[in-house]
Amino acid sequence: MVMELEGELLEVGLGDRSYEIAIGRGLGSVLGAVIRDLQGSNCPVAAVVDAGLAHSQPNFLKEVLGDLPQLELAAGENTKSLDSLGQIWDFLAKNHMDRSGRLIVLGGGVTGDVGGFAASSFLRGIGFLQVPTTLLAMVDSSVGGKTGINISLGKNLVGAFHQPLGVWVDLDLLTTLPKAEFAAGMAEVIKYGMLGDFSLFQSLERGDPLSPSCPGLSAVVRSCCEAKARIVAADERETAASGGRALLNLGHTFAHAIENMAGYGDYLHGEAVSLGLVAATRLSEQLGLLEASSTERVSKLLGHYDLPIQLRTPLDVSGLLAAMGRDKKVRGGKLRFVVMEELGRAVTREDVPTELVLDAWQSVGAMS
Ligand code: GLY
């Protein structure tokens, strides 16, 4: 896709499936023009949109989508379901989507994942653009082509790798994002610091908490997107024997188990990731990899954003362990954990004793 954009463009280098991430502010008019060009070339274009945006960003939606057919999806993790997927397929069929067409997906991680999965499966795959509207989606889920839905037995257990044709990150959209949603995105930002960028971690520790309008935010989002683009380009389908794309799941095996056990939507994904980061740090400490003060240090930084570091209501450890056992990271019955050898350097490990995993769960308030 050709983008006439002043500002930042990062490439996700995947051969003939390479694409660009545009990062800036006030991108609505340029994106609107790109979409009008697509319509002008007679390919069907339609959009799925997080329903909350109609209230929070009506002008942006109008500027970008004009009179395109639009399907609104309710906000919240429960929308990442088979039911929503069916609604999108029907909507695409009704609007005569064909293989030359494009789906524009505007929203947070939930809309991006289910919209992307619909694009991967409708007519066995159509092109789509990601327009992330939450911090979490901007720094993580909109980039890299992971799409999918939840089922009752586990988070993200059904899906496909399907790369977008482009990702448009307009930081101005964050100014109407609820505070808790911004904080949830910061959990993923802090994750990038912990897994591969100690200087990012330190700068977050040193500075005032970031906010949607602060000038420093753009550099932080860019460095997360750069890290993600680099990791995805090296291990697109997470097949590396060790390390690779799996490192992006630091804290996520814990987080997915929490979301599954607490009920989807009880914790925002980023809130569950916050708890998962605490548990993964404690696990790394107990494995003798990190110094004993690390959990406190990580918890303090997460606390700057009012992110949870203890479960709000204790969950049962045996249920959490069973949910972990259904994680996508299980290979031949063995669970692969992402731990840190130092803050800023993560690795994958398969030889983690169950009693240390239990201890990590207890450190965030799970009960046996
Ligand atoms: N969010 C983890 C990944 O994209 O691999």
Taken in order of first residue, the domains within the chain and their CATH numbers are 8-176 (3.40.50.1970), 179-227+237-363 (1.20.1090.10)
Phi then psi dihedrals of residue 347, to 5 deg: -140, 165
**Could you give the 3-state DSSP secondary structure of residue 362?**
helix
The confidence score (pLDDT) of residue 2 equals: 44
pLDDT of residue 4: 53
Ligand 1, CB cutoff 6 Å, lining residues = 140-141, 144, 146, 245, 248-249
Atom in ligand 1 nearest the alpha carbon of residue 144: 4
Q: How far is ligand 1, taken at its centre, from the CA of residue 248, in Å?
A: 5
* Structure tokens that stand for 180 in this block: 């808790």
Tokens of 220: 């932080």
Q: Note whether 270 and 186 are within 8 A (CB).
A: yes
Q: Ligand 1, from 146, 225, 247: best to mutate by most atoms within 8 Å of Cβ?
A: 146
Q: 195 CA to middle of ligand 1, Å?
A: 13
Ordered per-residue pLDDT tens for the chain, 368 residues: 445 555 589 999 999 999 999 999 999 999 999 999 999 998 999 999 999 999 999 999 999 999 999 999 999 999 999 999 999 999 999 999 999 999 999 999 999 999 999 999 999 999 999 999 999 999 999 999 999 999 998 889 999 999 999 999 999 999 999 999 999 999 999 999 999 999 999 999 998 999 999 999 999 999 999 999 999 999 999 999 999 999 999 999 999 999 999 998 899 999 999 999 999 999 999 999 999 999 999 999 999 999 999 999 999 999 999 999 988 777 777 889 999 999 999 999 999 999 999 999 999 999 98
**Nearest Cα to Cα of residue 140 among 118, 169, 119, 162:** 169
Displacement of CA 195 from its chain's centroid (Å): 15
The string of pLDDT tens digits covering residues 314-363 is: 999 999 999 999 887 777 778 899 999 999 999 999 999 999 999 999 99
CB–CB of 97/45 below 8 Å? no
- Select from 74, 145, 58, 165 the least CA-distant residue to 111: 74
Question: Which of 12, 140, 230, 236 for a ligand 1 pocket mutation test, highest count of atoms within 8 Å of Cβ?
Answer: 140
What is the structure's pLDDT at 368? 86
Q: Which of 318, 144, 303, 320 is nearest to 234 (CA)?
A: 144
